[in-house]
Homo-oligomer: A and B are copies of this chain.
Amino acid sequence: MRPPSSPSEAGPSGAIPAEAGPATGLFDGVLGRGPVAAEVDDAAWLRALLDVEAALARAGATAGLVPSSAAEEIGDACRGTFDPAALGRDAAASGNPVVPLVRAIEAACSAQAGPWVHRGATSQDVLDTAMVLVARRAVAALLVDLEAASTAAEALARRHRDHPVSGRTLLQQALPTTFGLKAAGWMTALDGAADRLTDVCRSLPVQLGGAVGTMSALEGRGTTVLEALAAELDLAVPVLAWHTLRLPVADLAGALGTAAGVLGKVALDLALLAQTEVAEVAEGVAGRGGSSTMPHKRNPVAAVSARAGAMRAPGLVAGLLGAMAQEHERAAGAWHAEWEALSDLLRCTGSSAAWLRDGLEHLEVDADRMREGLAGAALGSEAVALALTGSLGRARAHDVVAAAVAADAGAPGGPDLRARLLADADVSATLTPQQVDQLLDPAAHAGEAPRLVDRALAAHEQRSRP
């Protein structure tokens, strides 16, 4: 599955997409990484608003409501330059920036074309449709990083398919798995997050209802204009205006929150694996992660920053869901509360994706250390218990092994454990010393991990096919 549109083909206005350019704010290097930040800033919103006004005029022309020449002139005007700060200032009088924008576009048109600007629409029609465009463009940019992160995880899964590593539950070493299976899990979850975002973007609808959703100013041709506008912008056609029925916003919030959750989980694993005491992975970007005062440090900056972005998402999602309580035909505040919350949610999820991509693409994996980490552990104890279950019963089998492990202070999993187990009459009656050795070999206990990697890779490949 591919993103619905790449950022470079996102806009109907032919606008050149924002480059994944340099950060522009004090915190952008850490919290606004990647291309999404530029897709949700004022310039991007303004571009989207202008795209909608231009498309609305063209749709009106298609429906016979607006003279073609006026539509063309309006389209030209919408390719002009407007000042977001001035519009923002003037927005205070009406409560949204579309009102001054319409005046400004009209002022840029001739007296013939001017009155046809914004024909039949209400401010919210334009702002909501622009919000949808902003979201789609931002998600397209986000998906590039999300897919790249998945591709990086895929490579790790292939390379380390059979390399054993401790599986850890409740932050304790449990049984062996392979690093390939860990990475395959990341890949699968990143794919799932991307699929949800892609689905949501495909269903994003245009907004057009007029002041109260009745299309009263469209001279009976409302549905025609609606469909033409949707076609112009390559958006879905809604059954009704959704001025206060915010399912599209909730869908975006849910899918972004889910994506952030997945990004945060992978980043958390990376940060934990990079701990000094674990040191099974490191971030391999030269010159990054140094400390101002501690020269020996090598901080996992990508994982840390990816987590930071992801952590902001749940609260922002709650804000958007809370804002679904919208009164009658236009909300008295809840609508306005969406604009920045959605932009922030896109930006922080996008930054997280950009950082995680970077972290995975430059990950240094120390497979030897992973294997060594297993050697000293009593990870085979489950296998011994299982092998004893048939003759001893599960409870007794568990207790025998637990007692042997508990007594094995100092060097859990070492030769003492073997000796203690065999010293138990029940154990030695059931298992030979060779069998105990084999059962205690941690590398033999990764179960079906390699085959599960293959299974995940097959699903990943299946997904990528057209």
Q: Could you tell me the distance in whole angstroms from the C-beta of A390 to the nearest C-beta in chain B? A: 7
Q: Which residues of B contact A373 (CB under 8 A)?
A: 277
> A9-17, A55-63, A393-401, A430-438: which lies at the B interface?
A393-401
Q: Could you tell me the distance in whole angstroms from the C-beta of A242 to the nearest C-beta in chain B? A: 8
Q: Which residues of B contact A262 (CB under 8 A)?
A: 245, 247, 324
Contact mask for chain A residues 239-269; partner B; CB cutoff 8 A; 1 contact, 0 none: 1111011110011011101101110110111
On whether the beta carbons of B261 and A324 are closer than 8 Å, the reply is yes
Q: Tell me the dominant secondary structure on chain A's binding face.
A: helix
From residue 315 to 360 of chain A, which have CB atoms closer than 8 A to chain B? 315-337, 339-341, 344, 348
On whether the beta carbons of A23 and B85 are closer than 8 Å, the reply is yes
Closest to A288 in B: B93
Q: Which 8 A-B pairs have the closest CB atoms?
A: A167-B212, A254-B254, A216-B447, A307-B333, A261-B324, A214-B447, A315-B319, A169-B330
* A213 interface residue (CB < 8 Å to B): yes
Closest to A118 in B: B292
Q: Could you tell me the distance in whole angstroms from the C-beta of A456 to the nearest C-beta in chain B? A: 5
Bound CA span A212–B171, Å: 12
Q: Could you tell me the distance in whole angstroms from the C-beta of A173 to the nearest C-beta in chain B? A: 4
Most buried by B among A296, A336, A398, A404: A296
* A151 interface residue (CB < 8 Å to B): no
Q: Which residues of B contact A336 (CB under 8 A)?
A: 30-31, 304-305, 307-308
Q: Which residues of B contact A365 (CB under 8 A)?
A: none
> A72-80, A142-150, A177-185, A228-236: which lies at the B interface?
A177-185
Contact mask for chain A residues 286-320; partner B; CB cutoff 8 A; 1 contact, 0 none: 01111111111111110111111111111111111
Q: Which residues of B contact A215 (CB under 8 A)?
A: 447-448, 452
On whether the beta carbons of A189 and B327 are closer than 8 Å, the reply is no
Q: Could you tell me the distance in whole angstroms from the C-beta of A356 to the nearest C-beta in chain B? A: 12
* A90 interface residue (CB < 8 Å to B): yes
* A36 interface residue (CB < 8 Å to B): no
Q: Which residues of B contact A405 (CB under 8 A)?
A: 295-296
* A441 interface residue (CB < 8 Å to B): no
Query: Can you give 15 A-B contacts (C-beta < 8 A)?
Result: A28-B88, A28-B89, A92-B305, A167-B213, A188-B245, A239-B455, A254-B255, A262-B324, A264-B325, A265-B325, A277-B373, A296-B405, A304-B336, A314-B319, A344-B344
Closest to A307 in B: B333
Q: Which residues of B contact A386 (CB under 8 A)?
A: 217, 293
On whether the beta carbons of A261 and B250 are closer than 8 Å, the reply is yes
* A96 interface residue (CB < 8 Å to B): yes
Q: Given A223-B448, A305-B336, are A167 and B214 also a contact pair (CB < 8 Å)?
A: yes
Bound CA span A29–B276, Å: 35
Residues of A in contact (CB 8 Å), total: 192
Contact mask for chain A residues 138-167; partner B; CB cutoff 8 A; 1 contact, 0 none: 000000000000000000000000000011
Q: Given A292-B398, A315-B315, A318-B314, are A92 and B265 also a contact pair (CB < 8 Å)?
A: no
Q: Which residues of B contact A390 (CB under 8 A)?
A: 115
From residue 360 to 406 of chain A, which have CB atoms closer than 8 A to chain B? 373, 377-379, 381-386, 389-390, 393-395, 398-399, 401-402, 404-405
On whether the beta carbons of B212 and A175 are closer than 8 Å, the reply is yes
Bound CA span A395–B103, Å: 8
**A275 partner, pick from B27, B255, B277, beta carbons under 8 A:** B277
* A19 interface residue (CB < 8 Å to B): no
Q: Could you tell me the distance in whole angstroms from the C-beta of A446 to the nearest C-beta in chain B? A: 6
On whether the beta carbons of A24 and B177 are closer than 8 Å, the reply is no
On whether the beta carbons of A340 and B27 are closer than 8 Å, the reply is yes
On whether the beta carbons of B250 and A327 are closer than 8 Å, the reply is no
* A222 interface residue (CB < 8 Å to B): yes
Q: Which residues of B contact A207 (CB under 8 A)?
A: none
Q: Given A171-B300, A258-B254, are A295 and B385 also a contact pair (CB < 8 Å)?
A: yes
Closest to A330 in B: B169
Bound CA span A240–B450, Å: 12
On whether the beta carbons of A314 and B322 are closer than 8 Å, the reply is yes
Q: Which residues of B contact A188 (CB under 8 A)?
A: 239-240, 245
